[in-house]
Amino acid sequence: MASPPALLITPLGNGHIAIDATVGNGHDTVFLAQNVAPNGHVYGFDIQQAALDTSLEKCRQQQLSACVSIFQSSHADMAEKIPRPLHGKINAIMFNLGYLPGGDKQIITQTASTVAALSVASQLLSVNGIMTILAYPGHLGGDVETEAVKQWTEQLPADHFAVRVINSAEASLPAPRLFVINKIDDSLPNLTVA
């Protein structure tokens, strides 16, 4: 299965704006920052302080701190944190669902906030922007969240969004699923997707 970062290389460049909706251990945050620096910016979201600390340290080590803003906040609240002039201008948004690797496996992304965040993200995304959602049905609650993401992507208007689902080479039920969404038209009203 292609990794989300590999899929994002083409649309990202210096001066672009990106969101890491689930900061975790900071790998995606650093990847995004490396690709938008020095004139772009990455906004990151996580509810766990340990995730924020790890990510900020990785950005500091790579001398990327100036182009990264991280919030201890739910990804569902990203529209409140992203400056309004950037709404509809985000080039890439990454979601890596589940739990913090090496952290408490009881603290997981929640289906309701994830679906709300996806709806918000679809509005923040620019035309020709890309959103990746890596879902893990193999952990407790992950199957429900993965199915909700699948259902959410299936109801996106095909004339506004192109959706691909990439399954792991391991075709088992608990194998990760990668959803890739490209925004192809911005003439639709705000999506309020349940």
Give the separation between CA 98 and CA 144, rounded to whole angstroms.
11
Q: Return the ∠ at Cα 40 (arms to 85 and 26), rounded to 5°.
A: 110
Please give the mean pLDDT across all residues of the chain. 89
135, 129, 140: which is closest to 186 by C-alpha?
129
| Cα–Cα distance, 98 to 133 (Å, whole number) | 11
Tokens (6 digits) for 92: 């890439």
Contact 184, 160 (CB under 8 A): yes
Look at 53-57, 65-69, 97-101, 174-178 and tell me which has the smallest mean pLDDT. 97-101
Indicate whether 127 pLDDT > 80: yes
Rounded distance, CA 101 to CA 95, Å? 14
Torsion angles phi and psi, residue 47, rounded to 5: -95, -10
Q: Is the pLDDT of residue 161 over 70?
A: yes
Q: In this predicted model, which residue has the larger pLDDT, 187 or 43?
A: 43
Residues 168/1, Cβ–Cβ less than 8 Å: yes
Per-residue pLDDT, 194:
39
76 φψ region: left (φ > 0), alpha (ψ -120 to 50), beta (else): alpha
pLDDT tens digit string along 62-113?
Answer: 999 999 999 999 999 999 999 999 999 999 999 999 876 777 777 778 899 9
Give the mean model confidence (pLDDT) for residues 120-127.
96
Angle, helix 142-154 to helix 111-124, in steps of 10 degrees: 30
The whole-model pTM stands at 0.90
At residue 168, the pLDDT reads 76
C-alpha distances in Å from residue 185, one per residue of 69, 155, 170, 177: 28, 15, 34, 25
Distance CA 161, CA 153 (A): 9
Q: With cut-offs at 50, 70 and 90, classify the pLDDT of residue 179.
A: very high
Domains of the chain: 4-183 (3.40.50.150)
Q: Which residues contact 38 (CB under 8 A, 6 or more apart)?
A: 14, 66, 67
Percent of the chain with pLDDT over 90: 73
User: Mean pLDDT, to the nearest integer, of 164-180?
Assistant: 83
**pLDDT at 192 (0 to 100):** 47
